[in-house]
Amino acid sequence: MPKKKLVYIWSLRNAAADKAGQYIDYKGGRRYMKSPLEYLVQALNETELGACYSLEAVIYDDDPESARDREKLREYGFSCQPGRQWFYPPQLALAGRPVNVLLCPVPSSYRRLPLESAARPAAKSAFEHRLLAQLTALEADLVVLDGLLVILDELVRPGAPFHRRIVNIHPGITRLESPYERRGAHATLDALYGARGEKVIDWSTLQTRPVPPVTLTGASFHYVDNGIDSGEVIVDVLDTPIDPADTILELRWNNFQRSLFPALHRGLAHLAGVAQATTVGETACL
């Protein structure tokens, strides 16, 4: 059976905030911050997922014309350059093909416009049309979002070409009925405050109120709709204990290793219909 064509869409800005590709301080030592993209490439090279998916492109929406984006990416830039920090090892390759050649910019340039601008909705629509054209040209079967700081609308509406073909990997449990639910861009920080017995009620001021401590978090792999982490959950993993003394990067590192990478792997395996065959080490894609 032919492999499913996979396209990965991420935000370099979000990866930069995670210090992806760098060694971070961790409990008095140093640990390497592997990005979900780097994990995915290794999984496609080394596990049963490689028999099920081909990675066609890695799209990023960061905008070189935006002063805010340039500032957030000052350590990295917008492309891998010799001698400069990057988000993964420069030699990272998938089946011998350098990941760097898969990079494809589709800037969300509408973000330069003020939120109240009358031109912003049309500019946002134009961005989604450019994204659709790129995904169509790549003949994408499945799209994985990682930290994309844009809420998609037209691409994921019922009846749209990519409805239920775009999924997101989120560093928090997204089920509303779960006591561990953490949606949105502040999911990790929200979990960290929660472990300290606080609930943030205003993210602009970080005003909090006391709540019973919750010292566990996880990750969700879910379909994307036009809400904030509100799509149907495919797989979630709740396996990350929180030390209230954690820094956000310490918790982020731990959650990637214990919950987010497993959720990404299991979610992709579920969508591919990976089944264990009778022979040890053999797998099949249904």
What would the CATH number be for the domain defined by 4-176+217-285? 3.40.50.170
- In angstroms, the Cα distances linking 233 to 26, 53, 225, 229 are 31, 21, 11, 9
Half-sphere exposure of 200 (CA within 13 A, CB side): 17
- The token pair that represents 24 in the structure block: 């971070």
Tell me the domain boundaries of the chain: 4-176+217-285
Query: Burial code of 213-235, b = ≥16 C-beta within 10 A, e = fewer?
Result: ebebbbbbbbbbbeeebebebbb
The pLDDT tens digits along the chain (286 residues) read 799 999 999 999 999 999 999 999 999 999 999 999 999 999 999 999 999 999 999 999 999 999 999 999 999 999 999 999 999 999 999 999 999 999 999 999 999 999 999 999 999 999 999 999 999 999 999 999 999 999 999 999 999 999 999 999 999 999 999 999 999 999 999 999 999 999 999 999 999 999 999 999 999 999 999 999 999 999 999 999 999 999 999 999 999 999 999 999 999 999 999 754 333 344 455 5
* CA–CA separation, 29 and 67 (whole Å): 34
